[in-house]
Structure 1
Amino acid sequence: MTPGANAPLTAVRVTVEVTAPQRLDVSGLLLTAAGRVRSDADLVFYNAPHGPGVTHRPATGAIPDAITVDTWAVPADVAKVLVVASLDDPAATFAGVEPTATVRDADTGRVLTTFTPPRLGRETALLVVEVYRRGAEWKIRAVGQGYADGLAGIASDFGISVDEPQAAAPAYPPPAPAAPPQAPSAPPAPSYIPQSTPQSAPPAPSTPPAPSPYIPQSSPYIPQSTPNPAPSAPAAPPVPPPMPAAPPSAPPAPAEAPRVNLDKGRVSLVKGGSVSLVKSGRPPLTAVRMALGWEPAKRGRNIDLDASCIAFDANRERLETAWFMKLNVFNGAIQHTGDNLTGKGSGDDEAIDVHLDGLPAEVCGLVFVVNSFSGQRFNEVQNAYCRLLDAASGEELVRFDLTGTQPHTGVVMCKLVRQFSGEWVMTAIGEFVDAKTARGMVKPSAGLL
């Protein structure tokens, strides 16, 4: 099998073995149609080897770790069983390691199919294959997605609680060392006795008091050349204190990104540009398609770009992510069309349909991201673009060409933000980060909302 390929199962009970030059731990995840576990008990591994319809077989001698799936015993609310392999040595990675999955008829040992994922790198865990329902039929799909943060990263993505190690409380800084004792200084001479005046001399007449701090020396109210008024003269009227100095002016706010609407047809956005998804005199758009395209590799490994959509609430907290491992969220209001592993073929390579009216009220922002799952940097990818279409008519509304690429594996392409008026505004972002899956894009995306 090749990545993304699927085949029908010809046995009711199948065993998935995963072998590699290094020792592996193989686990199974029971997932619902929403792509989540029902509880932490849906992780089947060496410490919890039995689940409903799924069992773990430990390695013994030449027999490798394996997961066995009895499709007749899998509960009806479980849509797929994901088989995962992680390295036993926490310091090791899959670089230079070629794991192979062998799917057998569990009752006869007959080999049904095999799958060797493409060459891996810094990953320490791997989504190997999934056994899934399609109507009344059971099928198997080759996945081959690696994770750099091990089994814990996979478990978190699919809804299993992972106890993070508690960071030690920062120690209070030690008290600053006491200042060295100062040599006793001579008592200061009284201010009214000049330092050159002997103590026995009578004190000099005191100098007149300094002018009031409220009256600057250059104040026009009392010129410096004006003598003090005679005692018999009436007292001068009190001089009002000057107005307090104005605080330093704040730096000018950056100019707001230009915003246009769709009145004049298709809009070509540049980084920072915004477009309102309305046309004067027409109802606002209710369903849009975000499409991604790129050219396949001319040499070397295939280029596998992945488009994802991350939904946030008003506090910039992630609500859901639509990506190739979870194709629909919010009851289908956001629907991913599926994974393209190479970019081959004309036109768009991946797309995400968004029914804006079907989104829950708490969804305030959608961020569309692209990752290079195969590991190539974006400066190695040719003619990548993102475009927005009217899902009803297929009319292209907005295009954002990914130019000025940088040597990173992730890019935040654009965002859709719900305004107080209810309209949606799309802004091109084009910020590059280092992340190979949507999971690593959540934090940088939240910071750009």
Structure 2
Amino acid sequence: MAINLEKGQRISLEKSNGSKLQNICVGINWGAIEKKGLFGFGSSKEAVDLDASCAIYDDQKQLIEVVYFGNLKSKNGAVKHSGDDLTGDMGGDDGLDNEVISVDLGGLGANVTYVAFVLNSFRGQDFGSIPFASIRVYEGTPKRVTEEFAKYNISGGGFAGHVSMVLGVFYKRNGEWKFNAIGEPTKDRKLQETVQTVTQKYL
């Protein structure tokens, strides 16, 4: 049963049968903006390009690398990005993730301690103007969801007026992975700035 995430909630990455999670995916699903025509006649769709990215850090909180639309795989192959979606769902919510980042927790390497996920609106479109946008964290692969264990909705609400946010951070404590659901919008405009915010505030 998925938890509807609240800001700052920390969850343990254990499956319902008590075993440890190995393959984690963070999926983002969002829709194009509907534009009303002049005097309310007709409407058109405006493509929305949201970008999910993942910043990987060592135990000293030093940035190792960033996996994003321009670098689709980490050097060790443990983190993979499904590719850049430039439009969002143009025909309404199809229920599928537009971008997925998958993480093999066991393949990350002993020095990796933090894996942070951020979201940026590439064209600067306000999160509050997007008709639907949700993030889910689940066990499985981009094509197969085994168990969804966390989800949150980012359209409207406290995200209006922002174009970037920190989704959450996986972190290792005593050899075990846990997840801190941050869900905070930031004042940043670009991915590089958002990663700096994570480094300074959220590890």
TM bucket, shorter chain = 0.7 to 0.9
Is 1:350 the equivalent of 2:99?
yes
More helix by share: 2
Which position in structure 1 is the counterpart of 2:202? 448
Residues 272-323 of structure 1, C-alpha deviations (whole Å, 9 max, x = no match): 1111001365320111110001111112742110000011122222111000
3-state DSSP of counterpart to 1:404: helix
Unpaired runs of 5+ residues, structure 1, are 1-264
Which position in structure 2 is the counterpart of 1:288? 24
After TM superposition, the score normalised by the length of structure 1 is 0.39
Q: Alpha carbon RMSD of aligned pairs, Å?
A: 1.7
Which position in structure 2 is the counterpart of 1:366? 115
Which position in structure 2 is the counterpart of 1:307? 52
Supply the AA of the counterpart residue of 1:427: N
After TM superposition, the score normalised by the length of structure 2 is 0.84
Supply the AA of the counterpart residue of 1:438: L
Which position in structure 2 is the counterpart of 1:277? 13
Question: Is contact 2:32–2:46 with CA below 8 Å preserved after alignment?
Answer: no
Supply the AA of the counterpart residue of 1:349: N
Which position in structure 2 is the counterpart of 1:383? 132
Which position in structure 1 is the counterpart of 2:164? 410
Which position in structure 2 is the counterpart of 1:205? none
Give matches, 1:101-112, under 5 Å. none
Question: Is contact 1:330–1:360 with CA below 8 Å preserved after alignment?
Answer: no
Supply the AA of the counterpart residue of 2:133: A
Supply the AA of the counterpart residue of 2:13: L
Q: C-alpha displacement at 1:382, in angstroms?
A: 2.4
Is 1:419 the equivalent of 2:173?
yes
> d(CA) in 1 for partners of 2:63 and 2:4?
29
Of residues 338-347 and 353-362 in structure 1, the stretch that sits farther from structure 2 once superposed is 338-347
Is 1:437 the equivalent of 2:186?
no
Supply the AA of the counterpart residue of 1:399: K
> d(CA) in 1 for partners of 2:191 and 2:176?
26
- Segments of 4+ in structure 1 off by > 4 A? none
More strand by share: 2
Residues 40-82 of structure 1, C-alpha deviations (whole Å, 9 max, x = no match): xxxxxxxxxxxxxxxxxxxxxxxxxxxxxxxxxxxxxxxxxxx
Q: Percent identity of the aligned residues?
A: 33
Give matches, 1:222-237, under 5 Å. none
Structure with greater contact order relative to length (CA < 8 Å, sep ≥ 6): 2
3-state DSSP of counterpart to 1:445: helix
> d(CA) in 2 for partners of 1:387 and 1:274?
15
Is 1:336 the equivalent of 2:81?
yes
> d(CA) in 2 for partners of 1:291 and 1:431?
17
Q: C-alpha displacement at 1:270, in angstroms?
A: 0.8
Question: Is contact 2:9–2:181 with CA below 8 Å preserved after alignment?
Answer: yes
Supply the AA of the counterpart residue of 1:363: V
Q: C-alpha displacement at 1:434, in angstroms?
A: 3.1
Size of the aligned set, in residue pairs, is 184
Q: C-alpha displacement at 1:405, in angstroms?
A: 1.3
Residues 201-228 of structure 1, C-alpha deviations (whole Å, 9 max, x = no match): xxxxxxxxxxxxxxxxxxxxxxxxxxxx
Question: Is contact 1:290–1:388 with CA below 8 Å preserved after alignment?
Answer: yes
> d(CA) in 2 for partners of 1:297 and 1:342?
10
Unpaired runs of 5+ residues, structure 2, are 36-44
